[in-house]
A and B are shown apart, each in its own frame.
Chain A
Amino acid sequence: NAGVIQTPRHKVTGKGQEATLWCEPISGHSAVFWYRQTIVQGLEFLTYFRNQAPIDDSGMPKERFSAQMPNQSHSTLKIQSTQPQDSAVYLCASSLGWGQNTLYFGAGTRLSVL
């Protein structure tokens, strides 16, 4: 079991460019989560899917952030028109689902917006 896989590990974009982050959850896990990690805010919840369906996107900045899960083996987080304040580590996690709320995290993608 390779765990949750996130690519790329590091991404540098210029202000105003688009960034797409990829996540491959653990096989057999039905829930996929996206978090943003910063020193000041810690781990902020962004959104999550269960059985590929979006369940809760209450943490997503509405205007420039979007997430999709087109199949059970991967999810993407897209940030349009990136801004310097979007610089953070973006973590993906998966879990077995209902009643099994233990999250297994990937190593994250460090996004730097110049």
Chain B
Amino acid sequence: GDSVTQTEGLVTVTEGLPVMLNCTYQTAYSDVAFFWYVQYLNEAPKLLLRSSTDNKRTEHQGFHATLHKSSSSFHLQKSSVQLSDSALYYCALSDLGGSAKLIFGEGTKLTVSS
């Protein structure tokens, strides 16, 4: 079945430095959308960015991700993290042609230190 893998459970980065959160996937579907959700402490998960186009960079709030179907990846990056970026980040996929559910990875907790 479909699956999303986030290999890092915890990432710690110093403020001002770059970060990349890894996301790889397996899917049998051809028409698929990919998502990054962010969850701040004691809040609901909310959409950070979304993409369904191969090799196209998507940006929001200083974060960016590019879907690479050749490597089955949708890594999240930011060039200079801020303390306020500390949160739990989830990668997810959804089959656009069938079920509307999102399949999430295990999540990566990003901690930004000063």
Name the prevailing secondary structure of the A interface residues.
strand
Known interface pairs A42-B107, A102-B50; A91-B99 also in contact (CB < 8 Å): no
What is the total number of residues of chain B having a CB less than 8 Å from a CB of chain A? 24
A91 and B90 within 8 A (CB): no
B33 at the interface (CB under 8 A from A): yes
Separation of A41 and B35 alpha carbons in the complex (Å) = 18
Number of A-B contacts (CB under 8 A): 59
Q: Mark B12-32, 1 if CB is under 8 A from A, else 0.
A: 000000000000000000000
Known interface pairs A91-B44, A102-B50, A106-B44; A45-B106 also in contact (CB < 8 Å): no
B100 and A105 within 8 A (CB): no
Chain A interface residue number, banded: 20 to 34
Separation of A104 and B33 alpha carbons in the complex (Å) = 16
B106 and A102 within 8 A (CB): no
For B33, give its contact among A3, A101, A105 (CB under 8 Å).
Answer: A101
For A43, give its contact among B99, B100, B104 (CB under 8 Å).
Answer: B104
B residues neighboring A (CB under 8 Å): 6, 33, 35, 37, 42-47, 50, 90, 92, 94, 96, 99-107
